[in-house]
Homo-oligomer: A and B are copies of this chain.
Amino acid sequence: MENPKSAFSEWYTEITTKAKLCDMRYNVKGFVVFMPNSVTTMKRMYSVYEQELERNAHKPVWLPALIPESNFTKEGEHVKGFVPEVFWVTEAGGNKLEERLAMRPTSETAIYQMFSLWVQGKADLPLKTYHSAQVWRYETKATRPFIRSREFHWIETHCAFASEKDARRQVKEDMKTTERVIHGQFGIPFIFFERPQWDKFPGADYTFAADTLMPDGRILQLPSTHILSEKFSKAFEINYLNEKGERAGCRTTCYGPAISRIYAALISAHGDDKGLVFPFDLASTQIAIVPIIRKEGGEAVLSYCKKLYKKLSKKYRTVLDASQNTPGFKFNEWEMLGTPVRLEIGGREVEKGEVTIARRDTGAKETIALAQLKKKISQIRREILPLLRSRADNSFNSKIYAASSLEELGEKLKSGGFVKIPFCTMQKEGEACAEKIKEQFSANVRGSRFGKKEKTEGNCIVCGKKAKAVVYAARQY
């Protein structure tokens, strides 16, 4: 790597190119080709997420990519929020279509008409679905690989409930899922915020979103979960026959983990000056075997490596690197790619029936008997994730500050991270104060921390009115 991780922006650009994670040269603006090294990991991430959703009784559906304009415009706020970003299909099979079709930017308006058919009685509730798919949004900001593009890969869950209480419970379950998967299994720290009223998902009553910090101290939004306005269930007639024999409207929720974006957070949280670092289970290549061949004994070394490969590749994503490059070049390469375990095999190892094993996360290297290898790999596999997670947690927690004046806010924001401030209100009237913070410091008010009561003291640092909320401000990706 030419750039250290402290020069984060350059580091990120360099690693996505050098490790062949994606190719930005595709000739539709904002569209990226994702390459095997990242896709292998993202497929694992999808699988971990889907398992967790299914454990919580979500069922998979596959929804159409195209949504008729008339569906799309049924709920006023939703259409206002998304229409500026839509790709429209207007022609097909040589004919102009009677109605424009939107390439889904999100699927509420596709699935809700189905919900109205699927939900009849209370026995059909709760209805919990998920859809692993791509969505398309005509972003105007610059493309950043995995972080922002016009096509992204995500999971969207769509649920319907008999009451708002059930919907609230779902939102909490979504947060727990986020914790179990993104923090628990991917090792990425975040804070869940209730977003201010002026910064909600278009058509939502409440939006809760997870924000992580990138190494430069700017935030990246991870999944958000929403309690949608009853206008949706009215517009799409999602209702059920209640005990009194009356039609009652459902409450709906949605939740959207964007796998490609979480991947950006993953490589940014764990990477270092040498390149990528991955939890063992997520690595594209888990074990690299590097033969070290001197003038003599090359064949014996290679055949020893092949035997190892045959054994290990049954269980792990393993590569035997028999290319013509020097061992030193190969070590750097596999380190840059974030391969968790590297085995180095030379004449000495063959002679003694040993293996030299190097860990990517700690850099530790030791030579062990072949008979110990299986156990050693299992041990390293277990150890990596907790270590990466605790490193990432420490870095994250060291970047949470507090300020009690605008001046202090500006000062603290310079070093990046979250700055906690007393703030007038999360209701609509607070927007003017948030705007001022944005203008002055290019920072956003992310909302108040969910699930943790923070004591409100003093006055809003912008307007001076009595503070009704503690909010977090930060610069955003």
**Chain A residues engaging chain B, CB cutoff 8 angstroms:** 23, 25-28, 31-36, 39-40, 42-43, 59-68, 71, 83-94, 100-101, 103, 110-111, 113-114, 117-118, 129, 134, 136, 138, 140, 151, 153
Contact = CB atoms under 8 A, between A and B. Distances in A.
Contacts of A61: 33-36, 39
Q: How many copies does the complex hold?
A: 2
* Residue from A31, A40, A92, A111 whose CB has the most chain B CB atoms within 10 Å: A92
B84 A88 contact: no
B27 A134 contact: no
Contact of A91 (B39, B67, B90): B90
Contacts of A67: 28
Contact of A151 (B23, B64, B88, B100): B64
Contact of A93 (B85, B134, B151): B85
A23 B117 contact: yes
Contacts of A136: 65-66
A114 B33 contact: yes
B60 A39 contact: yes
A113 B33 CA distance: 11
A101 B110 CA distance: 22
Nearest to A103: B89
A27 B71 contact: yes
Contacts of A129: 36
20 contacts: A26-B64, A28-B66, A33-B111, A36-B61, A36-B129, A39-B61, A40-B59, A43-B60, A85-B93, A87-B89, A87-B92, A87-B101, A88-B89, A88-B90, A88-B91, A88-B92, A89-B89, A90-B90, A90-B91, A92-B138
